[in-house]
Chain A
Amino acid sequence: MVDYRSEELDEIFHALSNSTRRHIVLELTKKDLTVNELAEKYDMSVQGVSKHIQVLVRSGLVTQKRAGRLKRCSFNYETLENVSELIQRYRAFWEARLEALEKYFNKKKIKENKKK
C-alpha cells in the first residue's frame, strides 16, 4: 500500500481544482515554459500566473529551475503518478467490493434454496 500523506493529496487536488491551473499543467506537459511565457499565453499578469505557479509548486506538480534571469517551470510527472496510483487503488477497491457483493447474494441464494 502506498503511503499517502493526505495533506499532500489535498494540495494536489486543490491545485487541480482550478481550470487555469489545469491548463498550465497541460502546457507544461508539452514543454517547459517561463512564467512570462505562460502569462502571454493566458493573457494574464505575470503576478497572476505566479500565484497559480506557487500553488502548483507547493503541490509538487510543477518544479521551477532558474535559468539565468528567468525561472523555467516544468511538469513533475512523479507527483501525478502518486495520484494515478490512488485512483488505481480505489478502482481496485470498488471492483473488489462489487465482487464481494455478488458473492454475498450468491451465498444468500444458496441458503434460500436449501430452505426450500
Chain B
Amino acid sequence: MSENTVVVKKVISAPRDEVFEAFTDAEIMSKWFFPDEDMSAEVTNNPVVGGDYTLKMYAKNGDIYTHVGEYKEISPPEKLVFTWNSDFVQNTVVTVILEESGSGTEVTISHDLLPSVEMAENHRGGWTGCLNRLETIFSA
C-alpha cells in the first residue's frame, strides 16, 4: 500500500455472504454501482479468477463511463481483488475486504492508484523487464 492508495470503510447492515454477492453478482451490482441517483449502470462479468468485468455507467446527459478490469482474487465471502481501468486511470487495483462486525459487515475498499506493474507486464509485454533494466542503469 502506498500514499497513492485510497482506503474507505463502512459497516453495512447485511450478512457477509450477501455483501459479497452484491459485489460480484452483475444484476445486483447494476443496482448500486453508479455515482449519482439519476445515473444507471450496466454490468457484465465473469466472476472467476482471470475473468473480466465491464461496468458501464450511464449519465443523464448521455455520457457513458466505461470501466473494465480483470478479477485477480475471489475468496468468498471475505476478499475480492480486481483491476480497474477507466478514462482516468489504467492498470490500478481495487481490493475489497469483508469482515464480520456484529450482525453486519465491515467493508474496506482499497484502491491503489499506482499502475500495477504486474498488469503492465501482461498487457505491454516485458515492461517489467525494461523497468528492472532501467534500475540497473541507474544504480551502476
Residues of A within 8 A of B (CB): 4, 6, 9-10, 13-14, 16-18, 20, 44, 48, 51-52, 83, 86-87, 89-91, 93-106, 108
Residues in A with CB closer than 8 Å to B97 are none
> How does the 8 Å CB contact mask read for B55-92 relative to A, with 1 for contact and 0 for none?
00000000000000000000000000000000111100
CB distance from B38 to the nearest CB of A (A): 13
Dominant secondary structure at the A interface: helix
Residues in A with CB closer than 8 Å to B16 are none
Residues of B within 8 A of A (CB): 4, 6, 8, 10, 12-14, 18-19, 22, 28, 31-35, 87-90, 107, 109, 111, 113-115, 117, 135, 137-140
Dominant secondary structure at the B interface: mixed
A84 to B33 CA separation, bound complex (whole angstroms): 23
A8 to B109 CA separation, bound complex (whole angstroms): 25
A96 to B57 CA separation, bound complex (whole angstroms): 14
Task: Select one of B32, B88, B90 contacting A103, CB under 8 A.
Answer: B32
Instruction: Known contacts A17-B114, A20-B138, A105-B13; decide if A10 and B90 are in contact (CB<8 Å).
Output: yes
Query: Once the chains bind, are B111 and A94 in contact (CB under 8 Å)?
Result: yes
Query: Once the chains bind, are A51 and B138 in contact (CB under 8 Å)?
Result: yes
Query: Once the chains bind, are A87 and B115 in contact (CB under 8 Å)?
Result: no
Query: Once the chains bind, are A86 and B113 in contact (CB under 8 Å)?
Result: yes
Query: Once the chains bind, are B88 and A100 in contact (CB under 8 Å)?
Result: no
Query: Once the chains bind, are A48 and B111 in contact (CB under 8 Å)?
Result: no
Instruction: Known contacts A13-B114, A101-B19; decide if A51 and B35 are in contact (CB<8 Å).
Output: no
Query: Once the chains bind, are A104 and B8 in contact (CB under 8 Å)?
Result: no
Query: Once the chains bind, are A101 and B12 in contact (CB under 8 Å)?
Result: yes
Instruction: Known contacts A4-B88, A98-B10, A105-B18; decide if A83 and B4 are in contact (CB<8 Å).
Output: yes
Query: Once the chains bind, are B6 and A101 in contact (CB under 8 Å)?
Result: no
Query: Once the chains bind, are A90 and B6 in contact (CB under 8 Å)?
Result: yes
Residues in B with CB closer than 8 Å to A83 are 4, 113
A13 to B113 CA separation, bound complex (whole angstroms): 8
Query: Once the chains bind, are A90 and B32 in contact (CB under 8 Å)?
Result: no
Task: Select one of A4, A16, A93 contacting B114, CB under 8 A.
Answer: A16
Nearest A residue to B135, CB-CB: A18
A16 to B137 CA separation, bound complex (whole angstroms): 18
Task: Select one of A13, A52, A90, A100 contacting B111, CB under 8 A.
Answer: A90
